[in-house]
Amino acid sequence: MWNYKLFPKEKEIITKFGKYSTIAGIVLSLVGIGAFSYPFYASVMTVAFIAWIMIFSGFTTGYFTFISNREDWLGWLKTIILIGTGLMILYYPVTGIEAVGFLFAIYFFMDGFAGFALGSSMYPSKGWWIWLLNAFVSLGLGVIFLISWTSIQQESWLIGIYVGISLFFDGLTLLFMGNNFKKFDK
């Protein structure tokens, strides 16, 4: 997967990357285990993180609208919508959890349909069935998120579990990458 020829040959950079990706991998794996263990708190923190990103994006948009074209009403409207939505999500986190759960459902449905399209276009080739399997799993997750959308307990549990699993496997990937770079370094 990784083409090592693209990476610099300096031993110091490779050593640092291996060390820091190992550390980041351990931290992300532990955070993923924590999120998996406490899914409600993980979903609240995920929604708060999204809200703060929206608020920061709103202020950034407002700043660039101010310095580039102060009369651009669409830039100001975007600023107000981003900041207002972010503040609303922080003030009403339950609604934010429901919105994020609905967005996850949409994402999984789109991923499932894309997997079907890719798998059927690759049909005679080797490994085409993996894309179909991925599509069925994505559609199943989309249905689960959509069914649980009306229950905040189920929705927050699902978001927390999903974020926890994702962080855990991202951490494992970084951990293995760091170990591979340590081997590559020698």
In this predicted model, what pLDDT tens digit does every residue of 29-56 receive, in sequence order?
999 899 989 999 999 999 999 999 999 9
pLDDT, mean of residues 58-71: 92
Question: What global pTM score does this model have?
Answer: 0.71
| pLDDT value, residue 47 | 92
| pLDDT value, residue 1 | 39
Each as own residue / partner, the long-range contacts of residues 129-132 (CB below 8 Å, 24 or more positions apart, any chain) are none
Which pLDDT tens digit goes with each residue over 88-139?
999 998 888 888 888 888 988 998 898 888 888 877 777 777 878 888 888 9
Under 8 Å CB-to-CB from 155, ≥6 apart: which residues? 43, 97, 98, 101, 145, 148, 149
At 7, is the pLDDT very low, low, confident or very high (cuts 50, 70, 90)?
A: low
Pairwise CA distance, residues 38 & 109, whole Å: 26
